[in-house]
Structure 1
Amino acid sequence: MSTSQTPTSPPASDVPPGTLAWIGVTPRQLAGFLAMVFGMFMAILDIQIVSASLAEIQAGLSASSDEIPWVQTAYLIAEVVMIPLSGFLARALSTRVLFLSAAIGFTAASALCATATSIDQMIVYRAIQGFIGGGMIPSVFAVAFSLFPPSKRNIVSPIIGLVATLAPTIGPTVGGYLSDSYSWHWLFLVNVGPGILVAIAVYFLVDFDKPDYSLLDRFDYLGLISMALMLGSLEYVLEEGPRYDWFDDQTIATFAVVGVVGALVFFWRAFTAKDPIVELRAFRDRNFAFGSFFSFTMGIGLYGLTYIYPVYLAQVRGYDALMIGETMFVTGVAMFMTAPIAGRLASLLDPRAMMLIGFAGFAAGTYITTNITSDWDFYELLLPQILRGCSLMLCMVPINNLSLGTLPKEQLKNASGLFNLTRNLGGAFGLAMINTILNKRLDLHLERLHESVSWGRAVAEDQLASMQQSMSQVLPDGDLSAIKQLARLVRTQANVLSFADIFVVLTVLFASAAIFTLMMHKPAPLPAGAGGH
């Protein structure tokens, strides 16, 4: 080989001394990476940690029912803007500086959230927390696929996949426990100690790449502003649209227009700027494009089902936050148990086959739940939740490997931001779809059921008479109480039918995704020692 040639993989002499053969990196590199993984866990956990405790926060801050959802919405909107931006910042500042700054800022913002005395303060602090925390999530994926050798990714990918999917799944469980046992302040204070430790570990252990400060001289401010308007408006419309009947509301319509204008400017800058704020060329790769679509779909399964089960348990079964968390914990256990199996299967099976099995498992779980009734409890939801937990891991590992594992190393930081963005947008779209269908189908089922229990229906009149007779023996206003109870039964049944409709739609969606997995290319086998250093 001539001296002018560059080898495709580094010679053995370039391998860092002390490299651990089983993982392909040094102990210091592994410890730094694990510190980053824990930081990502905190950032993702905080998306859902407040979901089961909004009532407690509302009472503590004297907030209205319209204001309290912004405790979660502000975090999501800010995070979704930072996630794609983090790729540029990691290249300009280095992974170490970006992650260290994010860990410190996230910890400080968490402490501020615990000190909030008004809903306005809480919304501002949560937005800061989400924006800064969003910088930690894509960095872990980029490091995982650039630091570790391809032959070791079946060990690393289940780790980051488990964290990325387990954190939002157990969020309601952790949040419910903290608010029930202590107070809502501990939803945020719980981040302070671990956040400080993560920052210290990253400062001393992480040194994976070098900064390119010249990128800051060519920073595309117009691209950043347009991206923030596009993603922020999209997230707002998806979050608030179902509550305010979409474009019938003036504010929703205004943000939709702002989002479209922002999108037009953003894509113009992305294709014409010398150094755009977000590089879109990764989508030229067929596997990355399809992988992002599957990541979007998986986001629906991850965030959508994490939302719909607690809503059912609260509205129909009357569960409190802690009981919901204990019921939802099944999915987390299934994911934890499946992670090592998924890593092993990734080295034995065609990744497309793993994804097909995973999405088919999603579809099977939601299909079972199409038969849901108002009596369904922990045991009826046990199998669907196990199927969901196992399917998440079976999908996450091959989607990560196929989407990011075949890209050039110089594209990984930017592509990781885009990849994680699609998962979050999938979650936002899934929540909007679920809430919209629930509202529309609830009205439809109520109308139909009201016809079934109207005066003149012998069955309805007999049922009401029986209830009035029973209640009149124990209550002075038994007749009125019976009518109210019948109305509650009708609404509960309409609610349950609406949940069943949601699960039918999700079944079709996941079954379709399973079929589309066949359109991805299988990557060529990688040599055992290729890349990674």
Structure 2
Amino acid sequence: MSILDITVVSVALKTFQTVFDATPAQVAWTMTGYTLALASVIPLTGWAADRFGTKRLYLSAVVLFAAGSALCATAPNLELLVAFRVLQGLGGGMLMPLGMTILTRAAGPERVGRVMAVLGIPMLLGPIFGPILGGWLIDAASWHWIFLINVPIGVLAFAYAALVLPKDQVEPSETFDWLGMFLLSPGLALFLFGVSSIPEEGTVWSTRVLSTGILGLLLIVAFVPWALSGRTRHPLIDLHLFGNRNMSVAVVAMSLFAMAFFGASLLFPLYFQQVRGEDALKAGVLLAPQGFGAMITMPIAGVLSDKIGPGKIVMTGIVVITVGMAMFTQVGVSTGYPFLLAALFVMGLGMGATMMPIMSAALATLNHESTARGSTLLNITQQVAASIGTALFSVLLTNGLKDVDLRGPAGDVLSGMAGAFGTVFIVATVLVACCLVPAFLLPRRRPEQATPDEAGSERAVSEQARPELDATV
């Protein structure tokens, strides 16, 4: 639900404009505020999980997310709605890295691929089905229910987690990296705010984009020497994890994949709405084949990743995605829906074999103590890359549509718009294909067969923790 809530609001933006008498730029903050809060709190999750325990933190995050959702539904004006979305994002931002940490520790390196495949279902399907659920709830009830639906689910999640998760065994508390927090969290928020402002401003060179983006980037860059200096025993993000070859390669692969996948995900519903004239709900429903494809290959990819290593699986998945994306470069005004739905299904098949095996390749070589930090690092990478990809494709599409003569005949206008989409899909296809380079470097053997040089001393999982953690599964 925390991932789904990134996109579920997208279909309610027009409703918010009417209800709160606001401009499109103002209501867009209901999405931007949630995303920025999500990115800002992720760096804190690794430290907090080590300090307070994963169970306590998970329960707290569920309460914060559900409470923020309930408050959103009662917001009397747009300002409070944005504020409550930020509160909701603070809880939602902790849930995914915590879930990855809990499940990865419980699984151990020999089963991490299968567990990550299960966890990958909401990560891939959330953005796809968010608009569908949002459109249905708004049509069937009201906009309040896109938030209220999280409350009963949150109550069930809290009760179940309280019963089944093992009791926290917290070591002596680590010192908190205050300077790191003041550098990295505001840095990420400012940088992503600048990047997210690019589509609205229409250019990278606007004062709003440059001032916030550059300031955020400077803060992030300043964090790097501080984290590597050794003056703090427990930096907010452990950059020494990049000394692990599999982690480094996985981060590069994840960055390219997230830019291409999440950026291109913006294009599909826009094409159906702007060129084919579909409403938001039907545009969301038309994306369903992508989700079905991912659900078919994801569990298979998880099992195979544990048996033969993630490298071969990821490379196959990227080739399949590239084929599906290349099919969309041929879109026109009257391209047959069977062709388009088949392309989405093919892409879904590839996606199910790509993202989670990349993550499992990184986490399978980390020890018990490093898992929380590693999952936090991967989630930050995904969030930043997804925002950059969304901004990149938004600008490319906007610039392409500027060349369309809107005063011409309707058929020519739609043909020009379809051509602009096709050009942007070419860029997406190339970007996806570039993922083959880091994917080639991922391990192509099962985890327990990895050489000491590949895995290092961090391969071992704490056997003391395994009995308790196995109970979670």
TM-score normalised by structure 1 residue count: 0.81
**Cα distance in 2 between the residues matched to 1:128 and 1:89:** 17
Deviates more, 1:70-79 or 1:255-264: 255-264
**Cα distance in 2 between the residues matched to 1:207 and 1:347:** 25
Deviates more, 1:101-110 or 1:433-442: 433-442
Q: How does 1:26-175 map to 2 (within 5 A)?
A: 42-175=1-134
Identical columns (%): 27
Q: Aligned residue for 1:253? A: 210
Q: Does 1:499 align with 2:421?
A: yes
Sort the Cα spacing of 1:306 and 1:520 in 2 relative to 1 into closer, same or farther, 3 A.
Answer: same
Q: Which of 279, 295, 301 is equivalent to 1:342? A: 301
Q: Which amino acid aligns with 2:432?
A: F
Sort the Cα spacing of 1:340 and 1:265 in 2 relative to 1 into closer, same or farther, 3 A.
Answer: closer
Q: Aligned residue for 1:17? A: none
Q: Which amino acid aligns with 1:125?
A: F
Q: Aligned residue for 2:269? A: 310
Q: How does 1:487-526 map to 2 (within 5 A)?
A: 487-522=409-444, 525-526=447-448
**Cα distance in 2 between the residues matched to 1:91 and 1:525:** 25
1:108 is displaced (CA, Å) by 0.4
**Cα distance in 2 between the residues matched to 1:525 and 1:430:** 31
1:437 is displaced (CA, Å) by 0.8
1:472-509 deviations in Å (ceiling 9; x for gaps): xxxxxxxxxxx95x344333222211111111111111
Q: Aligned residue for 1:24? A: none
1:212 is displaced (CA, Å) by 4.0
Q: Does 1:402 align with 2:361?
A: yes
**Cα distance in 2 between the residues matched to 1:250 and 1:353:** 45
1:426 is displaced (CA, Å) by 1.8
**Cα distance in 1 between the residues matched to 2:447 and 2:308:** 12
Q: Does 1:290 align with 2:244?
A: no
Q: Which amino acid aligns with 1:70?
A: W
**Cα distance in 1 between the residues matched to 2:143 and 2:447:** 50
Q: Is the 8 A contact 1:301 1:362 kept in 2?
A: no
1:153-181 deviations in Å (ceiling 9; x for gaps): 34312101122211222111111111121
Q: Is the 8 A contact 1:83 1:417 kept in 2?
A: yes
Q: Is the 8 A contact 1:90 1:211 kept in 2?
A: no
Q: Aligned residue for 2:454? A: none
Q: Which of 436, 440, 445 is equivalent to 2:395? A: 436
Deviates more, 1:133-142 or 1:258-267: 258-267
Q: Is the 8 A contact 1:229 1:258 kept in 2?
A: no
Q: Is the 8 A contact 1:374 1:493 kept in 2?
A: yes
Question: Superposition RMSD on alpha carbons, in Å?
Answer: 2.1
**Cα distance in 2 between the residues matched to 1:521 and 1:158:** 17
1:57-88 deviations in Å (ceiling 9; x for gaps): 22222221110111111111110111121011
1:126-185 deviations in Å (ceiling 9; x for gaps): 111111211111011112221123333343121011222112221111111111211111
**Cα distance in 2 between the residues matched to 1:158 and 1:146:** 15
1:383 is displaced (CA, Å) by 1.5
Q: Aligned residue for 1:475? A: none
Sort the Cα spacing of 1:99 and 1:397 in 2 relative to 1 into closer, same or farther, 3 A.
Answer: same
Q: Aligned residue for 2:314? A: 355
Sort the Cα spacing of 1:224 and 1:154 in 2 relative to 1 into closer, same or farther, 3 A.
Answer: closer
Sort the Cα spacing of 1:66 and 1:518 in 2 relative to 1 into closer, same or farther, 3 A.
Answer: same
**Cα distance in 1 between the residues matched to 2:372 and 2:100:** 8
- Other structure's SS at 2:157 match: helix
Sort the Cα spacing of 1:265 and 1:343 in 2 relative to 1 into closer, same or farther, 3 A.
Answer: closer
Sort the Cα spacing of 1:115 and 1:520 in 2 relative to 1 into closer, same or farther, 3 A.
Answer: same
1:380 is displaced (CA, Å) by 2.6
1:524 is displaced (CA, Å) by 5.5
Q: Aligned residue for 1:244? A: 201
Structure 1: 5+ residue stretches without partners: 1-41, 451-482
Q: Aligned residue for 2:220? A: 263
**Cα distance in 2 between the residues matched to 1:125 and 1:150:** 39
Q: Is the 8 A contact 1:45 1:167 kept in 2?
A: yes
Sort the Cα spacing of 1:521 and 1:257 in 2 relative to 1 into closer, same or farther, 3 A.
Answer: same
Q: Is the 8 A contact 1:47 1:76 kept in 2?
A: yes
Q: Aligned residue for 1:214? A: 173
**Cα distance in 2 between the residues matched to 1:148 and 1:274:** 28
**Cα distance in 2 between the residues matched to 1:54 and 1:265:** 37
1:336-374 deviations in Å (ceiling 9; x for gaps): 222232233324544211111111111111111111001
**Cα distance in 2 between the residues matched to 1:369 and 1:330:** 14
Q: Which amino acid aligns with 1:431?
A: T
Q: Which amino acid aligns with 1:144?
A: L
**Cα distance in 1 between the residues matched to 2:37 and 2:80:** 15
Deviates more, 1:508-517 or 1:409-418: 508-517
Q: Which amino acid aligns with 1:276?
A: P
Q: Which amino acid aligns with 1:248?
A: W
- Other structure's SS at 2:379 match: helix
**Cα distance in 1 between the residues matched to 2:369 and 2:147:** 36
Q: Is the 8 A contact 2:238 2:373 kept in 1?
A: yes
- Other structure's SS at 2:278 match: coil
Q: Aligned residue for 1:7? A: none
**Cα distance in 2 between the residues matched to 1:267 and 1:410:** 21
Q: Which of 373, 384, 387 is equivalent to 1:414? A: 373
Sort the Cα spacing of 1:324 and 1:247 in 2 relative to 1 into closer, same or farther, 3 A.
Answer: closer
Highest Rg: 1 or 2? 1
1:247 is displaced (CA, Å) by 4.2
Sort the Cα spacing of 1:345 and 1:523 in 2 relative to 1 into closer, same or farther, 3 A.
Answer: closer
Q: Which of 229, 240, 244 is equivalent to 2:186? A: 229
**Cα distance in 2 between the residues matched to 1:381 and 1:71:** 31
Sort the Cα spacing of 1:203 and 1:505 in 2 relative to 1 into closer, same or farther, 3 A.
Answer: same
1:11-30 deviations in Å (ceiling 9; x for gaps): xxxxxxxxxxxxxxxxxxxx
1:316 is displaced (CA, Å) by 1.1
**Cα distance in 2 between the residues matched to 1:329 and 1:110:** 25
